[in-house]
Structure 1
Amino acid sequence: MPADRPYVFLDVDGVLIPFAARTTGRSPSPHRAAHRDSIGNPLLERVDPDDGRRLLALDCQLVWATTWLAEANDVISPLLGLPELPVVPWPDSDDEPPRGVHWKTAFLTRWAAGRTFVWLDDEITDLDRHWVAVHHPGRALLHRVDPQLGLTDADFSTVGQWLTAMPRPRYHGG
């Protein structure tokens, strides 16, 4: 996997676990029900396993950017069929972000270190977009997911089109 692929920072609650129940028309698989029951979180039934396949199809490096931390690999990854992903370790800091800017914004921007990234979260605002535009030298898409719905076809389409429209390095053979 090329090290220069864009990051896609993934939140869990409101993004992969919508606040409203999904109406997929599918009955839960026994494996998913057993996994959910072993964790004790009935909201895990709202995780759509197709999201994993669709995330893996993006030309990017997936990274957990959630307060679930490493637990996202233990609980969410198996439900989505994802491999173990890198986890953004949130700082233990009392630094307050600028007024109206999400507490994750500056940290994710620093973590990306100039690299192109997409951030999927349900709490992103225009203030976050402006802050990143001023402080991040690379390209960035801060995409707000409707927390009632979680990731939708429209979200995947937006991210996929944005990633596809990125300029790609040209091979200079010799």
Structure 2
Amino acid sequence: MADTNAIGLHQASADQLADKLNALLANYQIFYMNVRGYHWNVKGQHFFELHTKFEEYYTDLLTKIDEVAERILTLGHQPLHAYSDYVRIADIAEDKNVHDGEACVRGIVQGLQTLIELQRELLSLASDADDEGTASLASDYIREQEKTVWMLNAYLG
């Protein structure tokens, strides 16, 4: 069929999904650098536990960044790869010079909330397009990140 891509999705749907995935990728990249900065710069009473936890988070984010980019390629599109593009289209803003542990944790919660919202939109779009691969990716991320938000909010009290 001429109007489908290599994995059998309608080309118009694949185009729309790739755009949404590129927006998600941009947000993941900015969020990754924020969490990396929290890891490097956190200070205070909970330094050791937060430093270790932030490393766990940014390592996981790096895996997700690669998975999102590879999904874009699977759909027949090119993932954005310039940081200037990420800054331009991301909803998550760069978070600079944060040292306080609680402020870092709040930054992670806010970033995850943004990612969850974007992934819910992506999940809906993927479901409408019968794109099980993208829907599964988004669903898995949402489930995991919702639990993390709950746990971090419990940490914050």
User: Is this a same-fold pair by TM over 0.5?
Assistant: no
TM-score by length of 2: 0.25
Higher strand proportion: 1
TM-score by length of 1: 0.23
Higher helix proportion: 2
